[in-house]
Amino acid sequence: MNQLAEADNRICVMVGDIGAFGFRGFAEKFPGRFLNVGIREQSMVSFAAGLAIQGFKPAVHTITPFLIERAFEQIKVDFGYQKLGGCFVSVGSGFDYAALGCTHHSYSDIAMMRTIPGSHVFYPASPVELDAILKYCFSHSILSYIRIPARNSQAMIAKNLSWSLGDFYPIRHQENPDAILITSGGLVDTCVEALPYIHSGVNVSILHLPTLQPLNETKISQYLKSTHAHIFTIEDHSVRGGLADIIRDLILKNQIKTKSFQACGVESEFIRSYGNFQELCAHVGIDPKSIAEKINLLCINP
């Protein structure tokens, strides 16, 4: 952010009483361009729209449910409807704050943000992707939502792939795969960790989609068209309106032949259990073992 703000004096950062410590260097370097607006999410978003109207480029940051779900109407009306550029960056999506309970979970943020016309939705898995996405957002006057996961993907970091809008990343590419796992952000490594539990005769590819909207549909459908595999979507989000619906729409629209389509994510429930992220993944059925079991079941005994 410091580099971006250095290069463009219209960039401003607003936070809702989180991350002020992490931004202290930014605040000192760019006086007035960092604001801890406080616990006022709705007016923080409308306030940021006021800055955008006057030519500034606001980034607005706080915990997912309070940024996207609480202040959704402000994002929709003050940015979407008014065609203003703004970058909304959240932490604590899905059930990253596992033990804090349902008030601090958010399984609907991607679905909600996708419904705003013109919005861009991102779920990166590594700091390199995040930097590239932020750079893209600030150099285009767009309404964007970036969901930052609590864990960086070591697999994605090791790949060192350069990011481009709408593209997918083959974390693992197999010729003639039996199953393709499509995931993004915080669950990339979970999919990689499922591999040791998958039967040795089953070929599995893993794709990471850091851009959930807009997609490079042509490229993704070309990749999937040649495979005729079982397609799995793995997400720490509701299976309604998120990655599952995005990929299902793409498959139907492009008449992609698949052996089956399996949506793995949060079904219609509040996750009332506590514990850590991995434990809640197991509860939902998106931990490495559960993912592997589903794949083995379909691919070994078709």
Partner 1 sequence: MVYEAKEGHIPSAYSIVDIILSLYAARIENETKKASEKDIFALSKGHAGAALYAVLAYFKYLSKDELWDYCKTNSILGGHPDRCKVPGVVLSTGSLGHGIASAVGIAYANKLSKKDSRVFVLVGDGEMEEGSYWEAIMLAKDLELDNLSVICDYNRSQLKYSYHHNYVKAMSAHGWSACSVNGHDFKAMSELWKKQNHELQFILAETTKGYGVERMIAEGDNAWHRRTPTQLEYEEILEELSR
Amino acid, res. 63: I
Which segment (54-62, 132-140, 207-215, 222-230) binds partner 1 by CB under 8 A? Answer: 54-62
CB of 49 to partner 1, least distance (A): 5
Q: How far apart are CA 71 and CA 42, in angstroms?
A: 5
- Which of 6/249 has CB closer to partner 1? 6
Q: Which of 4, 18, 20, 37 binds partner 1 (CB under 8 A)?
A: 37
Q: Rounded distance, CA 72 to CA 28, Å?
A: 31
Q: How far apart are CA 132 and CA 130, in angstroms?
A: 5
Return the closest-CA partner of residue 116 out of 169, 79, 159: 79
8: contact with partner 1 by CB under 8 A: no
Between 1 and 181, CB nearer to partner 1: 1
Which of 55, 117, 201, 302 binds partner 1 (CB under 8 A)? It is 55
**Shortest distance, position 55 Cβ to partner 1, whole Å:** 7
**By CB under 8 A, residue 49 contacts partner 1:** yes
Q: Is 47 in the site for partner 1 (CB under 8 A)?
A: yes
* CB proximity list for 189: less than 8 A, separation 6 or greater: 125, 151, 153, 154, 155
| Alpha-carbon span 234 to 72, nearest angstrom | 25
* Smallest distance, partner 1 to C-beta of residue 48, A: 6
**Comparison of 45 and 244: residue with beta carbon closer to partner 1:** 45
Q: What six digits make up the tokens of 271?
A: 């996750």
Looking at 31-39, 60-68, 114-122, 163-171, which segment touches partner 1 (CB under 8 A)? 31-39
Q: Are 75 and 68 in contact (CB under 8 A)?
A: yes
Q: Among residues 32 and 201, whose Cβ is nearest to partner 1?
A: 32
Q: How many residues bind partner 1 (CB under 8 A)?
A: 29
Nearest Cα to 82, choosing from 127, 116, 43?
A: 116
Alpha carbons 116 and 233: distance in angstroms, whole number: 23
How far apart CA 171 and CA 207 sit, in angstroms, is 6
Closest distance to partner 1 from the beta carbon of 272 (Å): 28
Distance (Å, whole) CA 47 – CA 42: 9
Q: Does 4 bind partner 1 (CB under 8 A)?
A: no
Q: For partner 1, which stretch binds (CB under 8 A), given 33-41, 59-67, 144-152, 229-237?
A: 33-41
Q: Least distance in Å: CB of 220 to partner 1?
A: 32
Q: CB-based burial of residue 54 (10 Å sphere; 0-12 exposed, 13-18 middle, 19+ buried)?
A: exposed
Residues 62-121 touching partner 1, rule: CB under 8 A, are 73-74, 77-78, 81-83
Among positions 159-218, residues that touch partner 1 (CB under 8 A) are none
At position 141, the amino acid (one-letter code) is: S
Nearer to partner 1, 78 or 189 (CB): 78
Environment class of 269 (CB within 10 Å of its CB; exposed 0-12, middle 13-18, buried 19+):
exposed
Provide, rounded to whole angstroms, the least separation between the CB of residue 82 and partner 1.
Answer: 5
* Sites of contact with partner 1 (CB under 8 A): 12, 32-33, 35, 37-38, 40, 42-56, 73-74, 77-78, 81-83
